[in-house]
């Protein structure tokens, strides 16, 4: 999986993931954090793990997958950059900088990560003037979502008082292997490729049979075709970025709208509603076909949380953009994820890994080169978008970076040919943050897209308010009886009046449907923050 992200990188589609932190330096001792203190802080935190110092070394003639080695020439000041945000230092300028930075790859001859310290953040809602931001980004071959969380949290502390100069471990970089030593590593792998291919072929056959059996047993098979939208073409090198913040307790209450729904189901349904509104606004909504999203599913065990590399599977589900009724959309998403998660963990993960083992590395590299040159993914898209949920920072205790309080964290996932918009989610404190990265030519109006997401949130918020209002009125209705009505005899339960029955989410949605807002993408007043590049 790591080599997939390495081979499929192209100038127009850098395989970069990252996160944007908003930091309030007024909490630091003296109310100010200097760049040299940040460098010392990062140097101290790097000593909690060895993975920040690793780089890729290609095998001779790409006869094997690249190897991870320690960078013997590691230079911290190369990886940590200090920049200033143009005035007025608002959210829009921060999104522009983020989008431009994420449109570039990193030097794969070095450890594939960078940190940008962005000063001059003076007009972003929710943080005081004279704050700064931190943009940290990794190559996707380096980490998956969960591993990136572990590496980024290694940069956080639970106190504003940092003990500078502390060394929890001493790093000794290993010597880079010579060409002869690389051949010595590669040759045994080449000799064992035939055995690995035969073994992987057996797994592919067995898991393919299991996949066909499960799909055949589906009572209501989902659509097999991925509709083409304005997001599903060849991407340009230019990006746009925007974000939206939700309240986690409120999202959890929205689960009442569909029995059995999870927090992820609610979020996917909201995103589906937002994409529906945006495509309707541009007269590009596919008729009677739902957009299909890839939703990565982590299969990383707890003991491997701090390891580099990718341990993920994925499910492919319709997100209900073909459904005007919000409760129907949520019910459809819940039904699809209930089937998709076990399938991704039990079948697709092993199937994907086995296919990778069955094909020799040099053939995978050649296939990626052909695909990048022909740009086939932009011609025959397999999905419409990406929705990935990275586990958030646990707990409500404040986190600090070099003494500055981390106010919020916004995640970033890549886009590629055939998938011009991605949605990445992560949580901190009581907030769940959505980060949207898109091809700028496909989506020149990121503000409009974020407004559509906010409007979709408002739709579910209104349904929840109606449901909770009906549930709160139920005890009052039960106490209201007609004069002279017979009381139930002892041991006999009183029959509920039809008026006392709580209104279900589906009934509330049906009643509200006639007066629901059109998909014109109007922004919610409570949305925070939204920006575009």
> 40-65, pLDDT tens digit by residue?
999 888 877 777 888 888 888 878 88
* Cα atoms in the Cβ-side hemisphere of radius 13 Å centred on 272: 33
Instruction: Answer whether residue 28 is part of any domain.
Output: yes
In a domain, 24, yes or no: yes
pLDDT at 524: 36
Residue 473: which pLDDT band, with cuts at 50, 70 and 90? confident
Give the pLDDT band of residue 24 (cuts 50, 70, 90).
very high
Percent of the chain's residues with pLDDT above 90: 43
Domain membership of residue 173 as a residue range: 2-186
pLDDT for 465 equals: 94
* 363 inside domain: no
**Would you place residue 321 in the very low, low, confident or very high pLDDT band (cuts 50, 70, 90)?**
very high
**Cis geometry, peptide bond prior to residue 516 (ω within 30 degrees of 0):** no
Total H helices, total E strands in the chain: 14, 14
**In-domain check, residue 38:** yes
Q: Among residues 92, 34, 48, 87, which one has the least CA distance to residue 533?
A: 92
Residue 483 clears pLDDT 60, i.e. is over it? no
314-317, Cβ contacts within 8 angstroms, sequence gap of 24 or more: 314/344, 314/348, 314/352, 315/340, 315/341, 315/343, 315/344, 315/348, 316/292, 316/340, 316/382, 316/383, 317/222, 317/268, 317/292, 317/293
Does residue 468 have a pLDDT over 80?
Answer: yes
In a domain, 254, yes or no: no
Q: Report whether pLDDT(481) > 70.
A: no
pLDDT over 80 at 160, yes or no: yes
The CATH number of residue 180's host domain is: 3.30.559
So what's the pLDDT on residue 2?
Answer: 60
For all residues of the chain together, what is the average pLDDT?
80
Strand residues in 290-370 grouped as ranges (E): 292-298, 312-318
In three-state secondary structure terms, 357 is helix
- pLDDT for 343: 61
Q: Tell whether 445 is covered by a domain.
A: no
Helix (H) or strand (E) holding 438, with range, is strand 431-439
Residue 17 lies in a domain: yes
Per the structure, how many domains does the chain have? 1
* CA angle (312 as vertex; 307, 316 as ends), nearest 5: 165
Does 434 fall in a domain? no
Distances (CA, A) of 57 to 5, 69, 191, 345, 422: 15, 7, 20, 31, 29
Which token pair is 184?
């010595």
* Measured distance CA(237)–CA(414) in Å, rounded: 12
């Amino acid at each position: 999986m790591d080599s997939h992200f390495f081979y499929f990188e192209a100038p127009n589609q850098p395989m970069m993931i990252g996160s944007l932190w908003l930091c309030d330096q007024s909490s630091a001792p003296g109310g100010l954090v200097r760049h040299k203190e940040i460098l010392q802080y990062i140097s101290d935190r790097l000593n909690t793990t060895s993975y920040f110092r690793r780089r890729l070394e290609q095998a001779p003639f790409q006869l094997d997958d690249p190897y991870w080695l320690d960078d013997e020439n590691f230079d911290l000041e190369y990886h940590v950059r200090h920049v200033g945000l143009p005035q007025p230092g608002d959210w829009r300028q921060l999104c522009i900088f983020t989008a431009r930075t994420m449109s570039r790859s990193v030097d794969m001859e070095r450890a594939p990560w960078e940190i940008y310290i962005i000063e001059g953040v003076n007009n972003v809602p929710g943080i005081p003037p004279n704050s700064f931001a931190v943009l940290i980004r990794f190559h996707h071959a380096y980490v998956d979502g969960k591993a990136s969380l572990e590496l980024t949290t290694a940069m956080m502390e639970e106190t504003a008082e940092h003990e500078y100069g502390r060394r929890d471990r001493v790093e000794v970089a290993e010597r880079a292997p010579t060409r002869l030593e690389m051949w010595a590593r590669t040759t045994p792998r080449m000799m064992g490729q035939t055995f690995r291919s035969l073994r992987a072929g057996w797994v592919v056959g067995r898991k393919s049979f299991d996949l066909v059996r499960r799909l055949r047993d589906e009572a209501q098979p989902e659509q097999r075709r991925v509709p083409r939208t304005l997001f599903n073409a060849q991407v340009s090198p230019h990006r746009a970025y925007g974000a939206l913040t939700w309240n986690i307790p409120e999202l959890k209450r929205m689960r009442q709208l569909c029995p059995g729904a999870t927090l992820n189901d609610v979020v996917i349904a909201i995103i589906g509603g937002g994409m529906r509104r945006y495509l309707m606004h541009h007269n590009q909504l596919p008729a009677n076909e739902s957009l299909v999203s890839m939703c990565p599913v982590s299969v990383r065990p707890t003991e491997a949380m701090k390891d580099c590399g990718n341990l993920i599977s994925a499910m492919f589900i319709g997100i209900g953009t073909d459904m005007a009724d919000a409760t129907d959309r949520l019910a459809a998403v819940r039904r699809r994820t209930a089937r998709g998660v076990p399938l991704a963990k039990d079948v697709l993960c092993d199937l994907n890994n086995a296919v990778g083992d069955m094909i020799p590395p040099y053939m995978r590299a050649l296939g990626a080169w052909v695909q990048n040159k022909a740009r086939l993914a932009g011609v025959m898209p397999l999905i419409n978008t990406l929705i990935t949920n990275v586990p958030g920072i646990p707990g409500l205790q404040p986190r600090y970076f070099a003494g500055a309080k981390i106010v919020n964290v916004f995640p970033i996932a890549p886009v590629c040919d055939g998938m011009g918009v991605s949605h990445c989610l992560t949580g901190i404190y009581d907030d769940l943050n959505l980060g949207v990265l898109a091809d700028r030519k496909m989506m020149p109006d990121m503000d409009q897209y974020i407004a559509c997401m906010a409007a979709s949130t408002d739709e579910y918020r209104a349904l929840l308010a109606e449901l909770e209002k009906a549930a709160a009125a139920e005890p009052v209705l039960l106490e209201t009886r007609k004069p002279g009505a017979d009381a139930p005899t002892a041991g006999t339960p009183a029959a509920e009046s039809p008026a006392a029955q709580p209104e279900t989410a589906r009934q509330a949605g049906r009643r509200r449907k006639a007066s629901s807002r059109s998909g014109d993408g109007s922004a919610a007043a409570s949305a925070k923050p939204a920006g575009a590049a």
